[in-house]
Amino acid sequence: MFKDTTVAEINIIMEKAWKAFHAYRKLSLKQRAGFMRAIAAGLDNAPDELIPTAMQETNLPEARLRNEKTRTVFQLTSYAAACEKGEWLEARIDTANPDRTPPKPDIRKMGVPLGPVVVFGASNFPFAYSTAGGDTACALAAGCPVIVKAHPAHAGTSEIVAQIILKAAQQLGLPEGIFAHVHGASFEVGKALVTHPYTKAVGFTGSYGGGKALFDWANQRKEPIPVFAEMGSINPVWLLPGKLQQSAADIAKLYAGSITLGVGQFCTNPGLIIGIEGAPLQEFITALGNEIRQVAPGTMLHPGIAKAYGEKKSAALSQQEVTTVAESAAAPVANQGVPAIASATGKAFLNNPVLHQEVFGPYSLVIRCADIPEMLQVAKHLEGQLTATLMATEQDILEQDELVEAVQNICGRFILNSVPTGVEVCLSMHHGGPFPATTDARFTSVGADGIKRFARPVSFQGWPDSLLPAELKNGNPLGIWRTVNNEVTKDSI
């Protein structure tokens, strides 16, 4: 157990972070990338106890944790490359024209870091969305110091990773305060961090309740600050008639795997599947039920999550309009999540908001709609989602234009004929969706575009070349892409 960091300690940490900010922001993109690569190397050569500690704290299997660590190293190194490439800076230059009436000034714009960023780690990704995870990597790339609040469920793992980061900073002679690690089981620690005047942005991955509290605190500050909270999603899947007719059993097999992957503990877990009542949907439901019965219960991340899963699943299954299709046949032991599939009519779903709620775990609800218009109604009534998926033939898509449109409107990633689980780390990834999936649908928490969350543009007007940042100098010494007099170019001026 780690003691909660006190408010007095947080004040000292934030003072140091603010001081470090002024030194760190002046480092070149190359130096920032170097720091990120040093952290990646440290993680690659992590102390032997890292994986066993994480296994013990999260109940996740060794192979999964090793993969996640590799993914975290990839995030750090690929965002480091993006940091150096500088596209996230959105450099724009309009050169002067003294002959115009009135004379046109020289103006040059680029992203500058917001300031110290507070990161709240996720329970379900002890590496990739925690201490040295995506939020930390993006903030460091943007030039912001980072203060991580360890997730209490894997505080020991977080502590080991924090030491790796601190060691990398020290070895590179970076300013003290560039990274800090705090512990806090109580919400007071989080509140003290988010409301501190030197905190300039917040990254969070977790529950709706937690994310919304941070969002509200941040907006009630004298100076409101942005909060990037990813708060969960039921990731609806629409089975369109043509596709379902063709391959009900195959889809069932595919989805049984996606629903139960990692004991259903992914933010992109498909929690809602929508089809049209009839023989093909019945075939799908039967096949999915058969698959699910064969999946063994798995130990969940921590007792709190297992308990919440059990309770939310029971609450959903006990709704009058809900039928239990199948539950895993194996008997669970303590802290295990039992895979389950339930079903309800479209009408029931539209009238009962309880059925819209996320049941975090290996659970999915199949909605039997009367017809396409009812499927459309479901799309129109659903809250914002990280992902939405269509299982559809090209013909289905062409025929159901209004449905396709309505589904796109509620999601951040729109998938065709695949499963939502598996979030590729690449520039084209948008991991963010309309509220309540996230608090800011305009930014992603996966992929190098996530760096933009922690920068704001500043225009420099009338500065001579010698005093401009390297990114904006005439000679383009960093060789980055810039828009010069409305043309995208790497050329010098």
**Contact call for residues 273 and 366 (beta carbons, < 8 A):** yes
Smallest gap from residue 452 Cβ to a second copy (A): 8
Interaction pattern, residues 259-298, with a second copy; x per rule: CB under 8 A: ----------------------------------------
Taking the least distance from each CB to a second copy, the nearer of 370 and 427 is: 427
| C-alpha closest to that of 27 among 93, 84, 94 | 84
Interaction pattern, residues 422-451, with a second copy; x per rule: CB under 8 A: x-x-xxxxx-x-xxx--xxxx-x----x--
Considering the rule CB under 8 A, would residue 208 count as an interface residue with a second copy?
Answer: no
Q: Give, as ranges, the residues between 383 and 402 that touch a second copy (CB under 8 A).
A: 383-384, 394, 397, 402
Out of 11, 170, 171, 219, the only residue in the binding site for a second copy (CB under 8 A) is 219
CA distance 389 to 407: 8
Taking the least distance from each CB to a second copy, the nearer of 3 and 100 is: 100
Taking the least distance from each CB to a second copy, the nearer of 372 and 397 is: 397
**Contact call for residues 383 and 410 (beta carbons, < 8 A):** yes
- Please list the active-site residues: 230, 267
Taking the least distance from each CB to a second copy, the nearer of 363 and 454 is: 454
| DSSP assignments along 254-276, one per residue | HHHHHHHGGGG-STT---EEEEE
Q: Is 410 left (phi over 0), alpha (psi -120 to 50) or beta?
A: alpha
Smallest gap from residue 297 Cβ to a second copy (A): 25
CA distance 471 to 111: 10
Taking the least distance from each CB to a second copy, the nearer of 124 and 438 is: 438
CA distance 420 to 415: 7
CA-to-CA separations, 434 to 219, 389, 424, 431, 443, in angstroms, rounded: 18, 15, 20, 11, 10
Out of 56, 170, 351, 417, the only residue in the binding site for a second copy (CB under 8 A) is 417
Binding span for a second copy by CB under 8 A among 153-161, 168-176, 292-300, 483-491: 483-491
Out of 37, 210, 381, 414, the only residue in the binding site for a second copy (CB under 8 A) is 414
Q: Give, as ranges, the residues between 447 and 476 that touch a second copy (CB under 8 A).
A: 449, 452, 455-464, 466-467
- Residue 460 has, within 13 A of its CA and on its CB side, a CA count of 20
Taking the least distance from each CB to a second copy, the nearer of 153 and 272 is: 272
Out of 415, 445, 450, 473, the only residue in the binding site for a second copy (CB under 8 A) is 415
Taking the least distance from each CB to a second copy, the nearer of 110 and 325 is: 110
Interaction pattern, residues 85-114, with a second copy; x per rule: CB under 8 A: --x--x-xxx-------x-xx-xxx--x-x
| C-alpha closest to that of 274 among 352, 370, 340 | 370
Out of 52, 224, 257, 303, the only residue in the binding site for a second copy (CB under 8 A) is 224
CA distance 193 to 145: 13
Binding span for a second copy by CB under 8 A among 240-248, 325-333, 366-374, 410-418: 410-418
What burial class does residue 72 get, using C-beta atoms within 10 Å of its C-beta: 0-12 exposed, 13-18 middle, 19+ buried?
Answer: buried
CA-to-CA separations, 130 to 60, 69, 100, 160, 418, in angstroms, rounded: 15, 11, 53, 12, 27
CA distance 447 to 112: 19
Considering the rule CB under 8 A, would residue 49 count as an interface residue with a second copy?
Answer: no
CB atoms within 10 A of CB 104: 13
Q: Give, as ranges, the residues between 340 and 379 that touch a second copy (CB under 8 A).
A: none
Residues 6+ apart with CB under 8 A from 55: 61, 62, 65
Out of 405, 474, 475, 477, the only residue in the binding site for a second copy (CB under 8 A) is 405
Out of 7, 12, 15, 22, the only residue in the binding site for a second copy (CB under 8 A) is 22
Q: How far apart are the first and last CA of the chain?
A: 58
CA distance 208 to 372: 31
